[in-house]
Structure 1
């Protein structure tokens, strides 16, 4: 809701988004820039940019400083059209916005200021904030704080409009009692914002150029300012590892709830970890201690059993994965296929109904529908320099402890005997056997045992003489 209850804008103006991401994040105690620390497998900055993208902005600017190259690359991975601006010295939020002056000059529309370390603001909230510009020159996003503490306070006038923002360090005792707090996010006419920013001074406790000062300057010109309120959780900023862990927990709790309300069963939801882009169909069942890294989709009716790790994988309808299975990037599990305990799939496809139920590695491979891979099957895909592919035809049977030396193919409905090492292609419906002939030597087992025991006894006697026993 809005403190001034502005009507929705009927003719939305173009939007330019500026994301401030220049801070070092000293309290993170990390070589990694703060905004690149991930939540649900995605950098904080990525979450902020994704929310901004829902507005269809005409211009996007990211202000970088510490770790500029890495931060710029991360921004480009989400929004390739984003322009990167360097703030070589950090002199406050107003100074940071002015570092991206070129993104706002000549822009006939609204400017939206966001923060790379505030990843939870929803698309709906941003839309309300921009819409509030219909009845105000500047719209500020605020929240009712449970513990106002260090937050800047939003001081409202008698008409419910925003009069000024006071930083906590500069606030009076009466102002500190205000619970309505500033998120730092605001929307304003781009030209007006630039003009006001040029008037911001640094006469404050920090000696910095505060973005919040534009409110007082605008009011001094008789301009209208309003506050749009959102839930405090949306405005959560992250400054240290403890807050990062709390943010992860909040994100996961929300994502699990949304998944379960959408038709997913989780037997121990608090132990399941989802990624920002995890896609789960209806009637999917997920057991305890399952981790979804980015890039995973699971179709209707599939089951992911306990202690599985999935990344960059697609699981087909009705498939069963796990327990204790690992799907690596490029894994494609067909409808009704089975991937069992201690099986690893990497850059490989299992056709519909195919099975790899135990202790198997399938990498750089194509496994046809209905094929069965016995326990201990390995596709030997790497020669130390290059990767090679294995192809297994529909209905093929691969016996226990088979090694397939890629590149190699096994034809449809072929049979590979247990303990075989396949080095040549196997035709359709053929039987392949490759074993060293077994030789039994009468009495040799007894003599070998005696030799080994004598060797060990001699070693023990020597160690006792050296005082090592």
Structure 2
């Protein structure tokens, strides 16, 4: 089979009224990504992006802008009149563009984010193997109420007799538990030959794709069913509560994926782990950790409870102590962070560096083995190797209009409670005395003091108390 023999259409035109949200349904997020992006990612493992047709409608421009980077094609369903109408629009798009339709077309739902590539491939392979006109992905939930039921010709037969909606089930059929997922694979020619025959003779006045199954069965064409391994794979979400159910299922799935790769996760049900996160073996993740976005964590790390790491890269043997927050940061091997540090975007922490409690960094490079252990703000700075930044020392990088850079060389000692007013350079090996306000460059090996001379007045306290006593 070549790519030209097979394409995927993704239904993504619906509004999602029951969500009561301004956002299009398919752009709501679970597992750190929009529903539609999850479906596209699964589809792209089966066919190239240019063979994926995203059928959009409600807030079409917003949906297009959110997923255009994936390279998929878009088809506009300006008026949403059902699933059958969506494929009528796709058929018309092929005719208008003059493109040759694929021999087979697999239809996915843009709001069914847990569908696995393996399941899509299983539907495709069964469809081709059985030479079917239509293949239906099904599932068997504990409670099938409300779903259309798939009735097979025989219990052990792949062939489908009909799809019956809940309200149309007879007393003999009410016990049927196999449901229609809304995911199909078609022989495209067979599908397109039936689309114009669809009617809106139903309660919602829409064109239903399920009616194609009845037409094909009546014509004697082969319609088969393939069961999904998990019901979660075919579940959509019509309410925020249902969305969060899918989110919990996906995040637990992400945790189990990482554990299967050698990561220890204590209490995985308490952790929030996005789908793109990668973690190396022998790393330990404690309860109540959040790993978000495209975060990458190396091997032999320990991420302690209540830390939040987003779009950041950590090397091997990194320790992140409790309550630390990292956002778009880069951390080299063996660094120690926290507790309660805050690494903001463009923070680059060197090998073996220590960033301690209540230290905030932004747009800073910190060299190998350097330490800032207590109560610092380090922004717009380049800090060399072997530097010690004392408690409370800060870089003053903003003059009210512009940001300026502080440059600190290797093996510099910054005394506690010092303020380095940028732009300023502290050369290799220099010392800054505690409590200094540094406004000029400091040469290599020099000691810089920038503070008022201390004045001590012996007996001042006793004299003050005496005066106060006399006045009272």
Cα deviation per residue 1:388-446 (whole Å; 9 max; x = unaligned)? 54444444444433444445444444444433444444455544443343344567778
TM-score, with length taken from structure 1: 0.86
Q: Are residues 1:16 and 2:7 paired?
A: yes
Q: Are residues 1:122 and 2:116 paired?
A: yes
CA drift of 1:282 comes to 0.9
Q: Are residues 1:93 and 2:83 paired?
A: yes
Classify 1:432/1:343 alpha carbon distance in 2 versus 1 (closer, same or farther; 3 Å).
Answer: farther
Q: Are residues 1:194 and 2:192 paired?
A: yes
Aligned counterpart in structure 2 of residue 338 of structure 1, from 336, 339, 356: 336
CA drift of 1:51 comes to 0.5
CA drift of 1:181 comes to 0.7
Q: Contact 2:3 / 2:47 at 8 angstroms: preserved in 1? A: no
CA distance in 2, matches of 1:390, 1:196: 70
Classify 1:436/1:334 alpha carbon distance in 2 versus 1 (closer, same or farther; 3 Å).
Answer: farther
**Residue 317 of structure 2 corresponds to which residue in structure 1?**
318
Cα deviation per residue 1:32-88 (whole Å; 9 max; x = unaligned)? 1121111111011111111111102442221222222221122213x1x22222222
SS of corresponding position for 1:142: strand
Cα deviation per residue 1:131-162 (whole Å; 9 max; x = unaligned)? 11221121110111211111111121145401
Classify 1:426/1:307 alpha carbon distance in 2 versus 1 (closer, same or farther; 3 Å).
Answer: farther
Q: Contact 1:369 / 1:393 at 8 angstroms: preserved in 2? A: no
Classify 1:378/1:195 alpha carbon distance in 2 versus 1 (closer, same or farther; 3 Å).
Answer: same
Cα deviation per residue 1:68-127 (whole Å; 9 max; x = unaligned)? 2221122213x1x22222222221111122222355552232211111110001000000
Aligned counterpart in structure 2 of residue 112 of structure 1, from 88, 106, 113: 106
CA distance in 2, matches of 1:177, 1:440: 92
**Residue 293 of structure 2 corresponds to which residue in structure 1?**
294
Classify 1:319/1:444 alpha carbon distance in 2 versus 1 (closer, same or farther; 3 Å).
Answer: same
**Residue 259 of structure 2 corresponds to which residue in structure 1?**
260
1:22-421 residue pairs with structure 2 within 5 A?
22-57=13-48, 58-77=50-69, 79=70, 81-102=71-92, 104-105=94-95, 106-134=100-128, 135=130, 136-158=132-154, 159-230=157-228, 231-329=230-328, 331-346=329-344, 347-379=346-378, 380-421=396-437
Q: Contact 1:24 / 1:66 at 8 angstroms: preserved in 2? A: yes
Q: Which moved more, 1:109-118 or 1:432-441?
A: 432-441
Q: Which runs of 5 or more structure 2 residues have no equivalent in the other structure?
A: 379-395
CA distance in 2, matches of 1:61, 1:300: 39
TM-score, with length taken from structure 2: 0.86
CA drift of 1:447 comes to 9.2
CA distance in 2, matches of 1:382, 1:102: 58
CA distance in 2, matches of 1:327, 1:445: 48
**Residue 383 of structure 2 corresponds to which residue in structure 1?**
none
Q: Contact 2:133 / 2:187 at 8 angstroms: preserved in 1? A: yes
